Structure 1
Amino acid sequence: MNSTRRNYVINEFKVRFTLSSFLDQLTADAALALAPDGGSAKAAQKLARPTQWPTLAREGDVLWGECQGSGAHPYLVGVDARSAELASKCSCPSRKFPCKHALGLLLLHVAQSGAWQRATPPSDLAKWLEGRTARAEKAAQLPSDVETDPAERAKARAKAQAGGDRKKTAGLEDLELWLSDLVREGLQAARARPYGDWDRQAARLVDAQLPGVARHVRQIPDLLHDETGEALTAHLGRLWLLTQAWRHRTTFSELERADLLSALGAPLDRASIPPAAPRTWRTLGFVQEEEGKLHVRRTWLLGDEREVALLLDFAPTGQALPPPPPARPFQAAVAYAPSAYAQRAILQGDVTAATTPLPLPSGTLTDLQSRFAAALALNPWLERIGAFVGPAYLNLDPPQLCDADGHAVPLGARVEEADVWTMLAHAETLPQTYFGEWDGRSFTPVGTVAADTQATPDPRAAQGAS
């Protein structure tokens, strides 16, 4: 089963069953859909043999066991399915989540293979489970006076915002001086800096409640190898623009301030977004990446009025991302976040199946840059837009998306030759309509689309680039 299919299987599985019955209704396909990559899925299937598990146990919605590896002592494995954030813990050295041992434990449970017992987890796993419970309870709690008194709530929010603004102001003023020094010293001096310099500056920005700016600082070392310096100059200019925008934020409209805060890394207040009416949507595909200690997934949707919506999901390392929307057309309420350029959105309420075909927007290579420029004019912090291009075809050498008139744009650096071959095979040498991400420099195909069929996501996009 490929990675795209895995994600759709786990999504449809979770739509059908409640969390309380997750383990009892789990299927092998849904378990394998949790695998971080194909190698982990294959390794888990090899481990799903009772002879390698001297202990198999369950307590409520918690599975645990001992898996005998090559060492003298078996690995202690646990899976916590008590909430939507299914998590696992294993004493093995793997940095993948879930690891092959946790997946193997789930597969054994599905098959009801081996001698399972009802037993309390050992102390190491019990401590981990208690910590997860305590964190969940703490996140759900509010001080009683703030919870019941609207005036106290408003006062607490205003105080928290004022404190956060002071931190942001100090952090951006520090960044402004740092950028000035960096430009004055020149490109060669920047290349000689140790990586610790970039990490320390990023850490200061995180402390100033500016995680979005910190992410841009961490990206600087990747741009230092370009001899022209164009990419680095544009990147530093974007950072400088953020410092100046914060100074003049009081002159911005409400939507412009929302875009600025999003660029700085402020979390989206989902509760404040007005409810939307249910409509028909289809999933165009998704891209999954790792940013530091976060898993990030961008899911692109097409609405019945030809509009595009972007769902963003995040999960810390060690936790599973929520399931994406189903592959087939569906009915759901999709509400856009406040922005001068409506693109990011959230799902509200339940998702139900739909059969209504959706018309496709048109798009050509020649107007790709003008569309991006129009979007940037509304929101200068956009890093990418979703765009339809077609009819077009893929070229291998150099990797490009081309049209019949001789226009071409480069493919994104994360699109590898093997993935281009896969898309070429799907296209069967015929021009296609592609949907993908355009960042002003390169096009990353997310999937091929047709007006009367479902989107076919690009395998590379579904698996995520590392």
Structure 2
Amino acid sequence: MSSPLDHLTTPDVLALAPDSSSASAAQKLARPAGWPTLARDGGVLWGECQGSGAHPYRVGVDARSADIVSKCSCPSRKFPCKHALGLLLLHAAGTGTWTSAPAPADLARWLEGRVARAEKAEAAPDEAPADPAAQAKARAKAQAARDRKRSAGLEDLELWLGDLVREGLQAARARPYSDWDRQAARLVDAQLAGAARLIRQIPDLLHDETAAALTAHLGKVWLLTQGWRVRDTLPPAECADLLTALGTPLDRAGLPPAAPQRWQALGAVQEEEGKLTVRRTWLLGAGQELALLLDFAPTGQALPAPLLPGQAFTAAVAYAPSAHAQRAVLQGDTVIQGDAEPGSAPLPLPGRSLADMQADYAAALALNPWLERTGAVVGPAYLTLDPPQLCDAAGHAVPLSARLDTDDLWTLLAQAETQLQTYFGEWDGQTFLPVGRAAPASGVTA
């Protein structure tokens, strides 16, 4: 029988945290070395977490239904506590040595009690069956409570932004980092993790003398506060982009099923964001469409096995709701294609000029103003080392991202062998980060 544990991701677990401090503490605990015992029995997880005391805390998680609950021998009054969240993070990341074993006696009694209470409630003759209308009303009430919390957080953010602009750039540069962290923490507490992430990015933009990037960034944050005010009037796709920018996790199970087709991995970018490792994997579909897969894991923990650049496979890829469809998830089984299989030849990259790339990005940004990057194909084109640039056949050039290592740039230059290439990469409106390339244009040299 399927359990919610089978589909639980790291962002899903962090969304269960009662507050930001619990989420932060749980990520520190999500290290296999601190767990002498890790076990699963169907929809039940249990383990022992070694704390500062002589005896480890015993933790149990009951996920046999959609309502995930936990029990821990620690004295915390938070539910779930940091130990339960840490146990779930380890399971979601697939790290640690897990055994298949029933829960010990104390946890078994707790689990049996939960089953007995559920059976008693189900068999009670004087209780009517679950009323769908009542359930919908309860869900609406919970959603309204979350919305009130977010509204208060965004109103506070709006006032804070106004003060920041009135004080001016020089005053902002003099602020200690604790000011930015404090504001970000308030947003996390208001269930606005996406807005908090944007606030934490501000210090990196303060020292540009033109302040153009900072102004654009603050405008993006301000637009969050204004978009929230009119969220009920937005089309569904635009509302989905707003909620994503605010930090609402993607409901993977709610995505409509997609038809399987042939895809090819173009490459991946892996970065550290706070206490998370994030991997962006770009795919090219048989119809020349691009799709972006996101994987997350606590820093120091392993990500799922990657798709290798150029690897062809057949899978159902469902796009997340968005005015500019880009992020996607894999549904069902993924069948890797061998080199000898029919139709396994590499998919051609649809080469575009740099002007096309910038026009495509502007069009995408007009649809989703919180978009951070798009996948872009440029070719025929060539790379230069000094200065680091991508140049197309028409003579236009854009700077390469500072995230591109010099050794990686030298490798790309050596692979090109003076011939023009078709490059795939990420364009953020300012710089291009090469991710992959196609075969050189026949008979053309740089």
Q: TM-score, length-normalised on structure 2? A: 0.70
Q: Choose which of 337, 354, 358 in structure 2 pairs with 1:365.
A: 354
- Superposed CA offset, 1:312-344 (max 9, x none): 111223432222335521010000011111111
SS of the equivalent of 1:290 reads strand
- Superposed CA offset, 1:208-261 (max 9, x none): 111001001001111111111111111111111111111111111011100110
Change (3 A) 1:124 1:201: closer
Whether the 8 Å CA contact 1:337–1:346 is kept in 2: the answer is yes
Q: Sequence identity, in percent?
A: 66
SS of the equivalent of 1:134 reads strand
**What is the aligned partner in structure 2 of residue 238 from structure 1?**
220
Whether the 8 Å CA contact 2:48–2:56 is kept in 1: the answer is no
Whether the 8 Å CA contact 2:48–2:57 is kept in 1: the answer is no
**Residue range with higher mean Cα deviation, 160-169 or 207-216:** 160-169
- 2:397 matched to 1:376? no
Distance of 1:324 and 1:265 partners within structure 2: 25
Q: Indicate the RMSD between aligned Cα atoms, in angstroms.
A: 3.1
**What is the aligned partner in structure 1 of residue 282 from structure 2?**
300
Distance of 1:79 and 1:329 partners within structure 2: 39
Q: Choose which of 131, 142, 158 in structure 2 pairs with 1:176.
A: 158
Distance of 1:245 and 1:391 partners within structure 2: 40
Q: CA deviation at 1:78?
A: 6.3
Q: Choose which of 266, 271, 287 in structure 1 pairs with 2:253.
A: 271
SS of the equivalent of 1:298 reads strand
**What is the aligned partner in structure 1 of residue 408 from structure 2?**
419
Change (3 A) 1:77 1:186: same
Q: Choose which of 431, 434, 439 in structure 2 pairs with 1:445.
A: 434
**What is the aligned partner in structure 1 of residue 83 from structure 2?**
none
- Superposed CA offset, 1:329-387 (max 9, x none): 10100000111111110000001123423232221112111000111111111111001
Change (3 A) 1:186 1:312: same
- Superposed CA offset, 1:38-77 (max 9, x none): xxxxxxxxxxxxxxxxxxxxxxxxxx9xxxxxxxxxx989
- 2:323 matched to 1:340? yes
Change (3 A) 1:283 1:216: same
**What is the aligned partner in structure 2 of residue 396 from structure 1?**
385
Instruction: Name the amino acid aligned to 1:263.
Output: A
SS of the equivalent of 1:366 reads helix
Q: CA deviation at 1:137?
A: 6.8
SS of the equivalent of 2:355 reads coil
Equivalent residue runs for 1:27-426 within 5 Å: 130-131=58-59, 134=61, 141=68, 150-327=132-309, 328-354=311-337, 355=341, 356=343, 357=345, 358-426=347-415
- Superposed CA offset, 1:65-109 (max 9, x none): xxxxxxxxxx989696969xxxxxxxxxxxxxxxxxxxxxxxxxx
Structure with more relative contact order (C-alpha pairs < 8 Å, separation 6 or more): 1
- The gaps in structure 1 that reach 5 residues or longer are 1-18, 20-63, 65-74, 84-119, 453-466
Q: TM-score, length-normalised on structure 1? A: 0.67
Whether the 8 Å CA contact 2:296–2:303 is kept in 1: the answer is yes
Whether the 8 Å CA contact 2:35–2:48 is kept in 1: the answer is no
SS of the equivalent of 2:411 reads helix
Change (3 A) 1:451 1:307: farther
Whether the 8 Å CA contact 2:34–2:49 is kept in 1: the answer is no
Paired residues, number = 343
Instruction: Name the amino acid aligned to 2:191.
Output: Q
- The gaps in structure 2 that reach 5 residues or longer are 1-5, 7-31, 42-46, 70-113, 123-128, 442-446
Whether the 8 Å CA contact 1:284–1:302 is kept in 2: the answer is yes
- Superposed CA offset, 1:149-168 (max 9, x none): 64454233212211111111
